[in-house]
Structure 1
């Protein structure tokens, strides 16, 4: 059937959904070899919970863990309790701690790779001093390590608000890295993802901030597995990865330019830790397996067409990309509702969601296109778009 999809100018246009899914070749969960790839994963809300946007998150744990098994089944690692899981945007520290514990146990049971975010979001008010920030980090670092997961040291809103100079970052991160029992992933999340992180590493001048970031790594290269950089600036990421000490990986978090960054150049490449790989998991795994064979052209041919969808989902305000990610999970049949913790399903417009559906359908992302079409039609009806 033809769907009438609303456009941003207030009109509608006809769209003919595909009837059969594309033939994505599954690797059966076999490990990827040429790149280390993590997908940041969303959480599935409990739609029956009687909560308000200000309530603690009510999570459907069965559906949430089932989605992680889906990611592991593609051969991807899971980056847990990151901003894709609405960390700090509906999911508080208590909920994140339970998510980390449950997901790490699930990873152990299926042999899946997992890395979990450790931050300071138990501090709901401004921290009085750096010692308080450091203590909050230590609490979360201990929990992640005790779960058996790799640690991702997340950028901290509390540190951004409390630090007075680059030296405060050097002191805080130096202490935490000395505390870590295994190498961690350092996470630089740009203000487009979280405005509260403006001026991270002690400066709004990105060149100066980069120098401080690299100084932290250079002082503790044995405690840094890699860096996850999310600045949506491919030239800056490439320049930064070329300055990393030997053995320290760069994990791209650039949801606009990931194919070229993962493919790399004659001087190196980026691994991946991406929110867009949540909806793209089967295609992402297929692409990297082509790269595993040395076929860069096939890798790009598989992944390049997905960029339009990713750029759409991550368009400003970028921090609301999670709405599109969960929307596509619902259309793909990974959950039976389009409800989000904190009520964030309302954060994107119907024209935005309609175009996301169209782009995803054209890519063949939906295992059951007829189910996706039916669910899209039901959403259009709720909004009063007559078919």
Structure 2
């Protein structure tokens, strides 16, 4: 196969011909709580404009969640991997939450004893405020509406970072006021989400300061006031040392969930002072391999864990290269190549967000890792994508 590289030069690549065997499933993960933030599958036949409401293929979307649950992973629903606020509007996100929660109940009891469902957390944010200039009271009301819906659906809530709050807040005290009110309202412990500006520039200065030490202090102050209402913190700053520093300062019983798609093997393995659990977008394409790695860690084999997971970093760092927020395009490409969906179409037309050489490199790295259950299908689909762009791949 000929793949396009930098400068428009075609280079030869010999695709894998045999799949890499992966365990079909197995026992629940024990030593770490691991969520894969899952993408949504667009409906390619819906006659919608890029700025129109999202059209979702519900069956294919839920089938992908069943795939993740079957390997023992939890699902983080309606998060940024699902194009939340970037093609997936609140109306569609609310429907996605309801459907995934019902699907989780149908799958069976989750590994943390979650009553009547597989392990599921769902994002609660403020994206129904699709206009500038919202007040703090409106931001809190929007959060409350979404938190209520998530809890009524029977899922655990992730309080997502809010663009509207970042715009309305005058300083740390406004963040503390809004979030403390939400924690008092929550009927069960929630996961707080610190999403860095590399994922969303509108979140610059979150927690009231562009000084990350000061922002960390505000977050810790919030947690210290109500630790019983905080299950954990998802940290998506792509800064391993800062995450480790925060992790060591969390109160007992409050988890750190790594959202660092650049350094996750070392953060999940941890050190003598602790480790991070995981809530990662990159575990969408890595699902079976990631589950196998964590089970290896469960078995007391850290070197085996590293041997499985560290080779995936080249792919992760490629998918999440700047502008990082467009990583979803590569994630959906790999789902199509792996046979989890029948097309490479995304809500809002986001399949066009990455260049052809970027997508070709993602295919090559994933194929080298043995991520595709059917390498011939993946190669055929990649060749067809190249042909649409005028490249005779073979």
TM-score range, shorter chain: over 0.9
Which residue does 1:170 correspond to in 2? 176
Instruction: Name the CA distance, whole Å, in 2 between partners of 1:126 and 1:120.
Output: 12
Q: Secondary structure at 1:122's aligned position in 2? A: coil
Instruction: Name the CA distance, whole Å, in 2 between partners of 1:131 and 1:50.
Output: 37
Q: Secondary structure at 2:8's aligned position in 1? A: coil
Q: CA deviation at 1:10?
A: 1.2
Instruction: Name the CA distance, whole Å, in 1 between partners of 2:23 and 2:102.
Output: 29
Q: CA deviation at 1:26?
A: 3.2
Which residue does 2:387 correspond to in 1? 381
2:134–2:164 contact (8 Å) kept in structure 1? no
Instruction: Name the CA distance, whole Å, in 1 between partners of 2:385 and 2:139.
Output: 43
Instruction: Name the CA distance, whole Å, in 2 between partners of 1:305 and 1:24.
Output: 16
Instruction: Name the CA distance, whole Å, in 2 between partners of 1:12 and 1:255.
Output: 29
Q: Cα deviations across residues 222-273 of structure 1 (Å, max 9, x unaligned)? A: 0000000000000000000000000000000000000000000000000000
Which residue does 1:353 correspond to in 2? 359
1:127–1:133 contact (8 Å) kept in structure 2? no
Q: CA deviation at 1:339?
A: 0.1
Is 1:43 aligned to residue 51 of structure 2?
A: no
> After the TM superposition, which residues 113-192 of structure 1 pair with which residues of structure 2 at under 5 Å, given as runs?
113-192=119-198
Q: 1:197 aligns with which of 182, 198, 203?
A: 203
For structure 1, the residue ranges without an aligned partner over 5 or more in a row are: none
Q: Cα deviations across residues 27-76 of structure 1 (Å, max 9, x unaligned)? A: 33x21000000000000000000011001000000000000000000000
Q: Cα deviations across residues 80-126 of structure 1 (Å, max 9, x unaligned)? A: 00000000000000000000000010001102110000000000012
Instruction: Name the CA distance, whole Å, in 1 between partners of 2:219 and 2:297.
Output: 30
Which residue does 2:72 correspond to in 1? 75
Instruction: Name the CA distance, whole Å, in 1 between partners of 2:107 and 2:324.
Output: 33
For structure 2, the residue ranges without an aligned partner over 5 or more in a row are: 109-117
1:126–1:162 contact (8 Å) kept in structure 2? no
Instruction: Name the CA distance, whole Å, in 2 between partners of 1:13 and 1:172.
Output: 53
Which residue does 1:103 correspond to in 2? 100
Q: 1:371 aligns with which of 359, 366, 377?
A: 377
Instruction: Name the CA distance, whole Å, in 2 between partners of 1:243 and 1:363.
Output: 36
Output the aligned Cα RMSD.
Answer: 0.6
Taking structure 2 as the reference length, the TM-score comes to 0.97
Q: Cα deviations across residues 283-308 of structure 1 (Å, max 9, x unaligned)? A: 00000000001110000000000000
Q: Secondary structure at 1:9's aligned position in 2? A: helix
Q: CA deviation at 1:129?
A: 1.5
Q: 1:263 aligns with which of 262, 266, 269?
A: 269
Moved over 6 A (4+): none
Instruction: Name the CA distance, whole Å, in 2 between partners of 1:340 and 1:178.
Output: 37
> After the TM superposition, which residues 277-292 of structure 1 pair with which residues of structure 2 at under 5 Å, given as runs?
277-292=283-298
Size of the aligned set, in residue pairs, is 384
Instruction: Name the CA distance, whole Å, in 2 between partners of 1:11 and 1:217.
Output: 52
> After the TM superposition, which residues 224-373 of structure 1 pair with which residues of structure 2 at under 5 Å, given as runs?
224-373=230-379
Instruction: Name the CA distance, whole Å, in 1 between partners of 2:362 and 2:263.
Output: 18
